[in-house]
Amino acid sequence: MAEITLKSLAHTYLSNPTAPEDYAIREMDHVWHQGGAYALLGPSGCGKSTLLNIISGLLEPSSGEVLFDGEVVNDLPPEARNIAQVFQFPVIYDTMTVYDNLAFPLRNVKTPEARVHERVMEVADVLELTDQLKRKAKNLTADEKQKVSMGRGLVREDVSAILFDEPLTVIDPQLKGKLRRKLKEIHQRFEITMVYVTHDQLEASTFADKIAVMYEGQVVQFGTPRELFERPNHTFVGYFIGSPGMNFLEVMARDGQVMAGNTELRVGKHVHDAVAQARSAHIKLGIRPEFIEVHAEPVESGMEARVEHAQDLGTYSIVYLTLGSMALKARIGEDQATPSGKAWLRFPDERLGLYVDEYRVEIDHE
Ligand SMILES: Nc1ncnc2c1ncn2[C@@H]1O[C@H](COP(=O)(O)OP(=O)(O)OP(=O)(O)O)[C@@H](O)[C@H]1O
């Protein structure tokens, strides 16, 4: 088992990189602690697989170091790193039985057969594969195959960490939840460091205690699902996490007011002062759709908006609004009547986030 440290790590697939965009991994430092259940979440192409392949040793980074428990492993080949990697598509031997597939990684390192048997039975039990052990792998369903693939990762006791690269892609939607819970159970039972790559926020938050959100080759926030929701550190996290994502308004302070385009935003003094002090041309206020107050009648400090349409999603509705020239989404509970025509909005100060050059800056509310 291991703590995995990435030190000044960067990677490019190009031979002559010149700009930051030329890097699949932009220089970063990161620590995955021993025994943690982590997710690496981000859109397609942000560098997730590149990062996993660097950790497992399939790819040599352009610069920087990978350390396991403080030891640099850059020069170690994948087989010497004791990292198990589970890919999108199951990697198993079709002509072997499930038992032999699970036993393979142990027999490969000359484990005594009695111990092989114990471990195979234990892992098969956890993955509910005991009844399938005698079957040939080629006759299994896609999800059974993927379970065998995971089992092959789990079976070795000396494994430092398991890296899952979108392992549920080929699994039926109704079985995904079940397998995710299984992985969680395995994590608790084997106390192993697990990094789970996905572009699905639900998958990430049901599996992981902490999520690293990746964007354009960088980890822009590493936090609990709750922290990512309540205090997104970067506009991308606000936008990517939540359903729908956070609203962002480009703002500036002018004549003692906070303006979004030509619309005055009714915000408190502390928010105004924070906007006024920001030294950048790229200042945004962010508010989650859940935290916009939507009133059907005029209210004190309410900002008049136009209701474009509403989408009823059962336990809540999403209301699409236009404030000045800006489109906003608000999320209201089923107990609240959906406004039509006009609505009056309030942004509670404590729910507003200030973003300067895309990164969050704390507002002093004292
Ligand atoms: N072998 C390669 N050669 C050149 N460029 C590559 C190679 N592999 C990945 N890239 C590029 O590096 C960037 C990061 O890709 P990577 O596969 O790591 O992202 P990802 O987040 O895992 O995406 P996905 O979810 O689509 O798998 C992308 O711009 C991709 O096009």
Tell me: do 137 and 203 sit in the same domain. yes
pLDDT tens column, 309-350 = 999 999 999 999 999 999 999 999 988 988 999 999 999 999
Question: Which residues touch 59 (CB under 8 Å, ≥6 apart)?
Answer: 11, 50, 53
Based on the fold, state whether residues 15 and 146 are members of the same structural domain. Answer: yes
- What average pLDDT is seen over the chain? 93
Structural domain includes residue 79: yes
Q: Which atom of ligand 1 is nearest to the CA of 25?
A: 14
Secondary structure (3-state) at 260: strand
248 and 169, same structural domain? no
CA 175, CA 244: separation in Å to the nearest integer?
Answer: 25
Do 97 and 196 have their domain in common? yes
Flag whether 189 is in a domain.
yes
11 lines ligand 1 (CB under 6 A): no
* pLDDT, tens digit, 9 for 90 and up, residues 49-82: 999 999 999 999 999 999 999 999 999 998 888 8
- For atom 26 of ligand 1, the residue with the nearest CA is 44
- Please indicate, yes or no, whether residues 234 and 350 belong to a single structural domain of this protein: no
Instruction: Indicate if the pLDDT at residue 33 is higher than 90.
Output: yes
Looking at ligand 1, which residue's alpha carbon is closest to its atom 9?
50
Query: Do the domain assignments include residue 128?
Result: yes
Statement: residue 296 has pLDDT above 90: yes
CB of 57 closer than 6 A to ligand 1?
A: no
| Strand partners of residue 249 | 285
Structure tokens at 292: 């916009």
- Global confidence as pTM: 0.90
3-state secondary structure 74-134: CCCCHHHHCEEEECCCCCCCCCCEHHHHHHHHHHHCCCCHHHHHHHHHHHHHHCCCHHHCC
Q: Quote the domain boundaries for residue 311.
A: 244-361
Which of the listed residues 224, 239, 254 is the one where a domain comes to its end?
239
Domain containing 43 — which CATH number?
Answer: 3.40.50.300
Model confidence pLDDT, tens digit, residues 132-180: 999 999 999 988 998 999 899 889 888 889 999 998 887 888 788 888 8
Residue 17 is encoded by which pair of tokens?
């990189």
Check if 47 has its Cβ closer than 6 Å to any atom of ligand 1.
yes
Q: Is residue 15 part of a domain?
A: yes
Q: Which of 42-46, 178-182, 239-243, 347-351 has the lowest mean pLDDT?
A: 178-182
Do 125 and 92 share a structural domain? yes
Helix, strand, coil percentages in the chain from 3-state DSSP, rounded to 5: 30, 35, 35
Query: Same structural domain for residues 298 and 261?
Result: yes
Residues 357 and 251 in one domain: yes
* Distance from Cα 221 to the centre of ligand 1, integer Å: 20
Residue 280 has pLDDT above 80, yes or no: yes
Residues 219-229: b if buried by 16+ CB within 10 A, e if exposed:
bbbbbebebbb
Q: How far apart are CA 2 and CA 31, in angstroms?
A: 11
137 shares its domain with 165: yes
Confidence at residue 365, expressed as pLDDT on a 0 to 100 scale: 79
Q: Check if 26 has its Cβ closer than 6 Å to any atom of ligand 1.
A: no
> What is the number of structural domains in the chain?
2
CA distance 242 to 251: 22
Is the same domain home to 272 and 230?
no
pLDDT at 190 over 90: no
Provide the pLDDT for residue 1: 60
Q: Which tens digits make up the pLDDT trace of 260-273?
A: 999 999 999 999 99
Phi, psi of 128 (to 5 degrees): 55, 50
Q: In which order are the strands placed within the sheet that holds 316-323?
A: 293-295, 342-346, 303-312, 316-323, 326-333
Q: Residue 47 C-alpha to ligand 1 middle, in angstroms?
A: 6
Distance 49 CA to ligand 1 centre (A): 7
How sure is the predictor about 2, in pLDDT bands with cuts at 50, 70 and 90? confident
Is position 366 within any domain? no
User: Are both 273 and 162 inside the same structural domain?
Assistant: no
Question: Does 158 map to a domain?
Answer: yes
232 pLDDT exceeds 90? yes
> The domain spanning residue 348 has which CATH number?
2.40.50.140
The CA 238 to ligand 1 mean position distance, Å, reads: 23
- Flag whether pLDDT at 184 surpasses 70: yes
> Which residue is closest in CA terms to ligand 1's atom 6?
13
Is the CB–ligand 1 distance for residue 199 below 6 Å? yes
Q: Is residue 150, in this structure, part of any structural domain at all?
A: yes
Q: Are residues 209 and 274 in the same domain?
A: no
Answer yes or no: is the C-beta of 45 below 6 A from any ligand 1 atom. yes
Q: Indicate which residue's Cα is closest to atom 29 of ligand 1.
A: 45
Contact of 266 with 303, CB cutoff 8 Å: yes
Q: Cβ of 131: how many Cβ atoms within 10 Å?
A: 9
Cβ atoms of residues 61 and 11 within 8 Å: yes
H-helix or E-strand spanning residue 11:
strand 4-11
C-beta of 46 in contact with ligand 1 (< 6 A)? yes
pLDDT of 194 strictly over 70:
yes
Half-sphere exposure of 17 (CA within 13 A, CB side): 15
Mean pLDDT within 209-216: 96
Nearest by Cα to 195 from 181, 182, 183: 183
pLDDT at residue number 168: 87
Q: Has residue 204 got a pLDDT over 70?
A: yes
Q: Residue 186: pLDDT band by 50, 70, 90 thresholds?
A: confident
Query: Which ligand 1 atom sits nearest the alpha carbon of residue 14?
Result: 4
Q: What pLDDT does residue 160 have?
A: 80
Q: Which of 239, 269, 298 is the last residue of a domain?
A: 239
Domain boundary residue among 205, 239, 273?
239
Percentage with pLDDT > 90 across the chain: 79
Q: From the CA of 53, give the closest atom in ligand 1.
A: 18
CA nearest ligand 1 atom 17, residue: 49
Residue minimizing CA distance to atom 1 of ligand 1: 13
Q: What is residue 156's predicted lDDT score, i.e. its pLDDT? A: 87
